[in-house]
């Protein structure tokens, strides 16, 4: 395996990681911003108010996007496996 091929695999791995984690991170960010806005508008300064809705939203997002995530990871691992088998 050449250095270029290793860099290609690493670049693709980073993009797969971004695609897999993006839905969860975006939902966590949006829920956090909405709750922070709610806290600012109502002047409720409870620090633990953010955690339960954010955890629930992230859990639901993971459940909904799990097929998409597994499909991306399966395709990536299939390509990596083919590269490993073709070089040996």
pLDDT at 88: 67
Q: Tell me the per-residue pLDDT of 28-79, one tens digit each, with 9 for 90 and over.
A: 999 999 998 998 898 888 878 888 999 999 999 999 999 999 999 999 999 9
pLDDT band per the 50, 70, 90 thresholds, residue 16: very high
Evaluate if residue 2 carries a pLDDT over 90.
no
Q: Are 31 and 61 in contact (CB under 8 A)?
A: no
Find, among 68, 56, 78, the residue nearest to 19 by Cα. Answer: 68
Contacts 24+ apart (CB under 8 A), 33-41: none
């Amino acid at each position: 395996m050449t250095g270029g091929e290793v860099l290609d695999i690493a670049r693709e791995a980073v993009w797969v990681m971004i695609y897999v984690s993006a839905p969860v991170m975006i939902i966590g960010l949006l829920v956090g911003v909405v709750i922070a806005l709610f806290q600012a508008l109502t002047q409720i300064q409870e620090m633990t108010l953010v955690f339960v809705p954010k955890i629930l939203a992230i859990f639901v997002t993971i459940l909904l996007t799990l097929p998409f995530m597994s499909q991306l990871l399966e395709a990536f691992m299939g390509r990596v496996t083919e590269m490993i088998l073709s070089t040996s």
